[in-house]
Amino acid sequence: MNAKGHIDWLIFIPILALMLFSISFVYAASAANAEVKFGDSEKLFLNHTVRVIIGILVMVIFAKIDYHRFARFSIWWLVFGVILLIVVLFVGSSVKGASRWIMLGPLSFQPSEFVKLVMVIHFAKLLSIKQPVIKDFEKGFFPFIIWTLTICFLIAAQPNFSTMLVIFIIAIAMMFIGNNNLLHILSTLGIGMVAAVVYFLSAPYRISRLQAFLGFGENADNQAVSYQLNQSLIALGNGGIFGVGIGQNRQSHMFLPESYGDFIFAIIGEEYGFVGLFLIVMVFLIVFWRGMLIAKKAPDNFGYFLAIGIIITFAIYVFVNAGVNTGLLPTTGVPMPFVSYGGTAVIFYSAAIGILLNISSQAGIYPRQDFSQDDDLPQNEGELVHTEN
């Protein structure tokens, strides 16, 4: 049993280590790019360092906030997030044809990262209060699917296929774990996959990437299309078992695009080898294992579903990023949590881990509330049953 206020070191220390080591990783992967683009090899390194420091502070602050507080206003935060997704379509900063960022002076803000977190929070709340009616379509399923489709549609309009797909998978996974009607889930999954395929095929560049990945079609041997993956595999091959050494990588010298972002996993593999990548994966597995244990011991269903939603989100991102870097999945823009260079993502990842730490600090203190009887169902969405004994 935890004492209230306890820090879960098996979550905090691994994440803190990833964040601090990421400063070195990003510097090694970004110096050459920063020198060419900005005339300052340390520009991206310094930017990332500041964000890591802010992220650590955010994680500590959120770890001190009772996670139940987030349930009360979750619907309004989600509404605000949807509004931001609409705003970014009209006033967002466009990069490579996609409008995903809102510029706030020298800072940039990516609404989809905010929406991802508040969606997990709100879904956890809905799952916790709707268990008695969770199998019902109108009361137990419709609220989830209307939010999911709205968010996915707005993100697809940016366009941002990878984030849209990840959010859809997170939503489906939470509904499945929350014991929603399986027929409803499977029907939504089928329709969603068909819609995703149609959307995917609507862009020639996505078709080209898929053809290059599968090895057939007119772009099967197109080296330009598969350039990023080829360079990533070269980096991993160069690294071998033990790597070429810290700061000795070659692929970040304008060979591998996004070497400090979506493909930083390959640069780490080049410098630290298979051993380095294995250690990073093991760190994430420890966090995932500990997160599931926290969910199991959470004092109520809200904490249970929230912890699982957070862990699912991180697990998907780690799996997809590693899969893309190693050629197991088609090339797409998904960063490695707490490792890749980032701004908005680092902050909201840190907030999510802070929430997970707070759930852990309360694990085992209160009797578990499972809302299994109708009498336990709050009178409205704004109430969350939580008994303290």
What average pLDDT values come out for the chain (389 residues) when binned by 10 residues? Answer: 68 96 94 88 92 96 96 94 93 68 76 95 96 93 95 91 92 95 94 87 79 68 75 93 91 88 94 96 96 94 96 96 92 90 89 96 64 38 37
pLDDT of residue 97: 61
Residue 130 token pair: 């709707």
Residue 245 token pair: 């050494």
**CA atoms of 257 and 98, how far apart (whole Å):** 17
pLDDT of residue 106: 65
Q: What is the amino acid identity at position 161?
A: F
- Asked if residues 196 and 210 have their Cβ atoms less than 8 Å apart, the reply is no
Cβ within 8 Å of residue 36, ≥6 positions away: 254
**CA atoms of 207 and 194, how far apart (whole Å):** 15
Cβ within 8 Å of residue 153, ≥6 positions away: none
pLDDT of residue 333: 80
**CA atoms of 269 and 121, how far apart (whole Å):** 34
pLDDT of residue 174: 96
Q: What is the amino acid identity at position 285?
A: L
Residues in the chain: 389
| Global pTM value | 0.89
- Asked if residues 190 and 183 have their Cβ atoms less than 8 Å apart, the reply is no
- Asked if residues 125 and 69 have their Cβ atoms less than 8 Å apart, the reply is no
| Cis preceding linkage at 132, omega within 30 | no
pLDDT of residue 5: 58
Residue 287 token pair: 């966090």
Q: Which long-range contacts (CB under 8 A, 24 or more apart) does 89-94 make?
A: 89/154, 89/157, 89/158, 92/158
- Asked if residues 32 and 250 have their Cβ atoms less than 8 Å apart, the reply is no
- Asked if residues 36 and 25 have their Cβ atoms less than 8 Å apart, the reply is no
**CA atoms of 210 and 226, how far apart (whole Å):** 10
pLDDT of residue 326: 93
**CA atoms of 356 and 8, how far apart (whole Å):** 9
User: 10 Å Cβ neighbour count for 278?
Assistant: 13
**CA atoms of 338 and 350, how far apart (whole Å):** 8
**CA atoms of 35 and 118, how far apart (whole Å):** 37
Residue given tokens 């014991």 in the structure block? 179
pLDDT of residue 126: 96
User: 10 Å Cβ neighbour count for 97?
Assistant: 9
Burial (CB count <10 Å: 0-12, 13-18, 19+), residue 136: middle
